[in-house]
Amino acid sequence: MDFEPMEDFERDLRQAFERRPASPGLKRKLMEKRRAHKPHRHSHFVLWQRLAASVALAAVLGGAAVWRDAEERRKGEEARRQVLTALRITGHALNQMNAQLAARDRAAQQ
């Protein structure tokens, strides 16, 4: 028993092998499964979010500590400068007083 040419057989195959529609429930089931998988992905997201927040908090605290250290050093430097200025003024005043006393002594001797 023989068939028509191969081209006709191939045409029949194309007709026979048309895509079949998926059942209407396939997409629904798929979306349900996808939703069920989401909390897992969500927990990963939350984990990364927490990690990022921890890194940010550590950076802020470290920055604050460095800033406080620098601020204290600046204040100490300022206080040292003020003390030196006060000592300079005092020294200058003492020198003036000393000079005046010396001048008075010289005048008394003459």
**CA distances, 46 to each of 6, 50, 51, 53 (Å):** 60, 6, 8, 10
Query: Per rule CB under 8 A, is residue 29 in the interface with other proteins?
Result: yes
Query: Per rule CB under 8 A, is residue 7 in the interface with other proteins?
Result: no
Residues ≥6 apart with Cβ < 8 Å to 3: 9
Query: Per rule CB under 8 A, is residue 34 in the interface with other proteins?
Result: yes
Q: Residue 40 or 106: which CB sits closer to other proteins?
A: 40
Query: Per rule CB under 8 A, is residue 4 in the interface with other proteins?
Result: yes
Q: Which two tokens stand for residue 53?
A: 């927040």
Q: Which stretch binds other proteins (CB under 8 A): 7-15, 67-75, 77-85, 97-105?
A: 7-15
